[in-house]
Chains A and B, each alone.
Chain A
Amino acid sequence: MSERDEFDMLRSRPAPKPRNEAREKALEAALRSYDEKFSPTAQGTVEEVRLTDRARKLWRGLMNRKLVATPAVAGLLVLPLAGYAAWQVMGGDMFGLRMASQTQDMSAPPIEPAVKHEASRGLSLDGEAASPQAPADRLREMAQPAPAPTGMAAPRLQRGPLGGQSKMVAPSLAPAPSLDMALPREESRDRFASFDTNPVRAALENPVSTFSIDVDTASYAFARRSLKEGFLPQADTVRVEEFINYFPYDWQGPASAEEPFKANVTVLPSPWNTGTKLLHIGIKGYDVPATTRPAANLVFLIDTSGSMNAPDKLPLLKSAFRMLVNGMADGDTVSIVTYAGSAGTVLEPTRASDKQKIFDALDRLEAGGSTAGAAGIAEAYRLAEKSFVAGGVNRVMLATDGDFNVGQTSDDALKRMVEEKRGKGVFLSIFGFGRGNYNDRMMQVLAQNGNGTAAYIDTLAEAEKTLVQEATATLFPIAKDLKIQVEFNPEKVAEYRLIGYETRALNREDFNNDRVDAGEIGSGHTVTAIYEITPKGSPAQQIDDLRYGNARVNNPGGIADAEEYAFVKIRYKQPDADTSKLITTPVTAANEIGAFDDASNDVRFSVAVAGFGQKLRKTDQLAGFGYDRITEIATTARDADPYGYRAEFLSLVRLASALDGGR
């Protein structure tokens, strides 16, 4: 026992009391997850609690006070509060960095008086999921100082101590934030699934890397918006592959439709690490000539809930779809379904030649009511099946600013429905609008399961890019379930790391399993994937060799094809086929480029974009690689840039650099 005494002081240290606010919130969270589990249809998606972003939680804490208030009352109540919260947050959370947010611990006391509700009452669900009628006790609570509204749009906290604004302030109307000023980050209810950056893998232990292609671009547009408003995007919102694939690249395409796409592989030195190389795979889909395009049957499923009533939402959406309709052929059909409160058909299937009728229907749309997403989707699918074009393009195009919070709303139930319809030949594409309530996770799940793309539209220019310039790519799939598997040769490659595609990882065995769904590629689409590889014997190797490594190959000449870096296998299905085909490409010294600067402009630009995405994700490997280098590479690789995307990229890098302290 004597030995024990010296550690006895461990026992003497009592834990400090938890704050009441934290306790309340924990109990609420418990009930929320309980409800999710036991009645999954009753709630919206669970809000993942991230441990480190306390500044966001402070605001959510204020917003969460379970009120259903009218906007006017809400506006009155939130003003002083917002100022207070801004003042609190200013101290530490200058740029919305996820971790620099410990400071608002002292914010607890002022909130406490208003949060004295019993946990067992358990009424508090997150904002929109709260029951529609406000019980009397909630109204009483409202009279106290702390409560703030949870309307359909999270109130925005724009800037400075008095900068709280109440509701639905369109970002475009907000004063342009100046970069030299510390800006408090508003609490936003945008939901993003978090994921870990792909780790470095030893080629000996895990020689095979498998993933599904991804032509989504939502993450880039979302980050752009964030940067333009003066915040570094949260690391979890950055999906590097979506950054890379946002830009069109001029990879060499296939010669005929027989071969739907072509993979161009390049090995080049990595600009951010000496001693490592990049394995760059650029895939280009066959460009279907306009004359042979199949007929399209599109159903616009448009969210007209109250929250869509903002300049960057419904009006932008109307303009966007108007542009899309303008580009359609006369034989195509369009239908429009809305969902707000109850789902309704606004336009029965109509020929695109009757443009005026379609435009009139679009113009009549008005925002109001809550969002009945599930019913809307069901109705949209019904119409799509009604005017189904065999051999053509049958697609539901969902436009929304948030998620589906009335009716059947578990991610799983919707996912199953989308999968089932995909089996019948109706695909789903998703266009996200607005900010503050954006449910990225749900959008991703649905689009990935519906063989569609998820794009985020924040400006008319973005709408033009997505719906007009890339309409053919978005609308005319030339191959589906495109999976990539790369086998690395441990004789040449010690380690590898796939850049991005974390959310698209597949199991090794999934590659040959035709029942496993994967991404699709459209007419003329380009998809790019980049690995960082460490050649064997390079000093940049991070993982030690195994002393008793099982991979010592006995034959002195080494394994077969020892000179290859890797072997790239791509599986795909024709749009209407159920069995996959295989394309393989060995990667040898013939694919290698000696100096980074000798690579083509497009390769270098895509690497700069990959570098930028990884910087924003705070990827360890890029710690010593500054924004200035990204700017340098991207500037020299700008090329023609007819639509100015690359110029815009450069301005985003400058913004991020300023926001990130010039690193």
Chain B
Amino acid sequence: MAAEIDRQEARAGDGELAARAGAGDRAAFATLVERHYDFIYRVAYRVLGRRADAEDLAQDVCVRLGRAIAGYRGGAAFTTWLYALVLNAGRDALRRNARGDRNASAFATHAQVMSQESDDDDPAERMWDAVRTLPDKQREAMTLVYGEGLGHAATADIMGVTENTVAWHVHEARKRLKALLRPAGDE
């Protein structure tokens, strides 16, 4: 039955599937989520930087998607809408993590495991870690422009701001990143 549905739905575009899913077509929704899971996960990974966290966030996004799909109006490309959904969920997750971190002293083991898992030697990974410390807007702009390789126009669409604002966020982010990474002996 799964294969059948796949054949049927494979050709349908995102917009069409999303519209049908929004109207209650369960199979369309299943195809849509299946198709975009890797995308969701990838952006989630950019936001959180650890596989396990990214998987959790991706699942959270999937859950939100189930509730929110009826609200997709088709005005923007589906992926644009989805980006915004992932970034929102990411913001919440980071906030939640920050809250958890306050209890960090109680969880020494946790920290230990964390440090084992993250790939500290990789300079790119270290830079991503720095990106994750930026304020929300700057971090999101960097994630989309560098992580996703999007242009400023597309990024502006997703973030719901103007291109100039995106450029400004990226500029500020770069300024801050340089300051952040200098003590690490990169320059």
| Residues on B with beta carbons closer than 8 Å to the beta carbon of A103 | 113
0 or 1 for each of B102-118: is its CB under 8 Å from A? (1 = yes):
11011101100110010
Q: Does A75 contact B (CB under 8 A)?
A: no
* Interface pick from A15-23, A284-292, A405-413: A15-23
Closest B residue, CB atoms, query A21 = B55
Q: Contact: A118 with B174, CB < 8 Å?
A: no
Q: Contact: B30 with A119, CB < 8 Å?
A: yes
Q: Contact: A19 with B66, CB < 8 Å?
A: no
| Residues on B with beta carbons closer than 8 Å to the beta carbon of A8 | 146
Q: When A and B form their complex, which 9 residue pairs have the shortest distance between CB atoms, in order from nearest?
A: A33-B66, A118-B2, A30-B62, A34-B66, A22-B55, A15-B45, A26-B59, A120-B30, A10-B146
Q: Contact: B60 with A49, CB < 8 Å?
A: yes
Closest B residue, CB atoms, query A93 = B109
| Residues on B with beta carbons closer than 8 Å to the beta carbon of A100 | 107, 109-110
Q: Does A3 contact B (CB under 8 A)?
A: yes
Q: Does B57 contact A (CB under 8 A)?
A: yes
Cα separation A37 to B63 with both chains bound (whole Å)? 10
Q: Does A176 contact B (CB under 8 A)?
A: no
Q: Does B65 contact A (CB under 8 A)?
A: yes
0 or 1 for each of B58-88: is its CB under 8 Å from A? (1 = yes):
1111111111011000000000000000000
11 residue pairs A–B, Cβ–Cβ below 8 Å: A10-B128, A19-B55, A22-B56, A23-B55, A29-B66, A31-B30, A34-B65, A54-B56, A102-B114, A119-B2, A660-B106
Q: Does A515 contact B (CB under 8 A)?
A: no
Closest A residue, CB atoms, query B41 = A18
Q: Contact: A9 with B30, CB < 8 Å?
A: no
Overall SS of chain B's interface? helix
Q: Contact: B59 with A25, CB < 8 Å?
A: yes
| Residues on A with beta carbons closer than 8 Å to the beta carbon of B26 | 31, 34-35, 38, 122
| Residues on B with beta carbons closer than 8 Å to the beta carbon of A26 | 33, 37, 40-41, 55, 58-59, 61-62
CB distance from A168 to the nearest CB of B (A): 30
Closest A residue, CB atoms, query B42 = A15
Partner of A49, one of B63, B70, B100, B123: B63
Q: Does A36 contact B (CB under 8 A)?
A: yes
Closest B residue, CB atoms, query A120 = B30
| Residues on B with beta carbons closer than 8 Å to the beta carbon of A117 | 2
Cα separation A654 to B119 with both chains bound (whole Å)? 40
Given contacts A15-B54, A99-B110, contact A120 B124 (CB under 8 A): no
Q: Does B16 contact A (CB under 8 A)?
A: no
Q: Contact: A118 with B70, CB < 8 Å?
A: no
| Residues on B with beta carbons closer than 8 Å to the beta carbon of A15 | 41-42, 45-46, 51, 54
Given contacts A18-B55, A22-B55, A122-B26, contact A30 B63 (CB under 8 A): yes
Interface size class of B (residues with CB under 8 A): 35 or more
| Residues on B with beta carbons closer than 8 Å to the beta carbon of A38 | 24, 26, 70
Give the B-binding residues of A (Cβ under 8 A): 3, 7-13, 15-16, 18-19, 22-23, 25-27, 29-38, 46, 49, 51-52, 54, 92, 97, 99-103, 105, 117-122, 196, 618, 620, 623, 660, 663
Q: Contact: A29 with B63, CB < 8 Å?
A: yes
Given contacts A11-B146, A33-B63, contact A18 B30 (CB under 8 A): no
Q: Does B52 contact A (CB under 8 A)?
A: yes
Q: Contact: A119 with B55, CB < 8 Å?
A: no
Q: Does B1 contact A (CB under 8 A)?
A: yes
| Known contacts A52-B100, A100-B110; 17 further A-B pairs (Cβ under 8 A) | A7-B174, A10-B146, A10-B147, A18-B38, A22-B56, A25-B59, A26-B37, A30-B30, A30-B66, A31-B66, A33-B63, A33-B66, A46-B63, A49-B56, A54-B52, A620-B102, A660-B106
Q: Does B98 contact A (CB under 8 A)?
A: no
Partner of B30, one of A25, A36, A122: A122
CB distance from A626 to the nearest CB of B (A): 13
Q: Contact: B58 with A18, CB < 8 Å?
A: yes
Q: Contact: B60 with A51, CB < 8 Å?
A: yes
Q: Does B153 contact A (CB under 8 A)?
A: no
Cα separation A38 to B20 with both chains bound (whole Å)? 12
Q: Contact: A34 with B113, CB < 8 Å?
A: no
Closest B residue, CB atoms, query A52 = B100
Given contacts A7-B177, A11-B149, contact A37 B6 (CB under 8 A): no
Instruction: Name B1-36 residues within 8 Å CB distance of A.
Output: 1-3, 5-6, 9, 21, 24, 26-27, 29-31, 33-34
| Residues on A with beta carbons closer than 8 Å to the beta carbon of B124 | 9-10, 12-13
Closest A residue, CB atoms, query B60 = A49
Cα separation A196 to B30 with both chains bound (whole Å)? 33
| Residues on A with beta carbons closer than 8 Å to the beta carbon of B117 | 102, 105
| Residues on A with beta carbons closer than 8 Å to the beta carbon of B62 | 26-27, 29-30, 33
Q: Contact: B63 with A120, CB < 8 Å?
A: no
Cα separation A3 to B1 with both chains bound (whole Å)? 53
Cα separation A10 to B70 with both chains bound (whole Å)? 35
Cα separation A121 to B26 with both chains bound (whole Å)? 10
Q: Contact: A3 with B174, CB < 8 Å?
A: yes
| Residues on B with beta carbons closer than 8 Å to the beta carbon of A120 | 2, 5-6, 9, 27, 30-31, 34
Cα separation A183 to B187 with both chains bound (whole Å)? 49
CB distance from A91 to the nearest CB of B (A): 9
Q: Does B120 contact A (CB under 8 A)?
A: no
Q: Contact: A51 with B93, CB < 8 Å?
A: yes
Closest A residue, CB atoms, query B57 = A51
Q: Contact: A16 with B66, CB < 8 Å?
A: no
CB distance from A456 to the nearest CB of B (A): 26
Cα separation A27 to B30 with both chains bound (whole Å)? 8
Instruction: Name B142-159 residues within 8 Å CB distance of A.
Output: 142, 146-147, 149
Q: Does B127 contact A (CB under 8 A)?
A: yes
Cα separation A548 to B14 with both chains bound (whole Å)? 51
CB distance from B102 to the nearest CB of A (A): 6
| Residues on B with beta carbons closer than 8 Å to the beta carbon of A52 | 56, 100
Given contacts A27-B33, A119-B33, A122-B30, contact A36 B110 (CB under 8 A): no
| Residues on A with beta carbons closer than 8 Å to the beta carbon of B45 | 15-16
Q: Does B166 contact A (CB under 8 A)?
A: no
| Residues on A with beta carbons closer than 8 Å to the beta carbon of B177 | 7
Given contacts A22-B59, A54-B52, A102-B113, contact A13 B122 (CB under 8 A): yes
Cα separation A329 to B5 with both chains bound (whole Å)? 64
| Residues on B with beta carbons closer than 8 Å to the beta carbon of A30 | 29-30, 33, 62-63, 65-66
Cα separation A19 to B70 with both chains bound (whole Å)? 28
0 or 1 for each of B162-180: is its CB under 8 Å from A? (1 = yes):
0000000000001001000
CB distance from B5 to the nearest CB of A (A): 5
| Residues on B with beta carbons closer than 8 Å to the beta carbon of A196 | 99
Cα separation A33 to B110 with both chains bound (whole Å)? 30
Q: Contact: A99 with B54, CB < 8 Å?
A: no
Kindly name the residue among B3, B64, B146 whose own CB sees the greatest number of chain A CB atoms within 10 A: B146
CB distance from B15 to the nearest CB of A (A): 18
CB distance from B167 to the nearest CB of A (A): 12
0 or 1 for each of B121-134: is its CB under 8 Å from A? (1 = yes):
01111011001000
CB distance from B113 to the nearest CB of A (A): 4
Partner of A92, one of B105, B113, B146: B113
| Residues on B with beta carbons closer than 8 Å to the beta carbon of A34 | 21, 26, 29, 65-67, 69
Cα separation A27 to B2 with both chains bound (whole Å)? 13
Cα separation A618 to B61 with both chains bound (whole Å)? 27
| Residues on B with beta carbons closer than 8 Å to the beta carbon of A99 | 100, 103, 107, 110
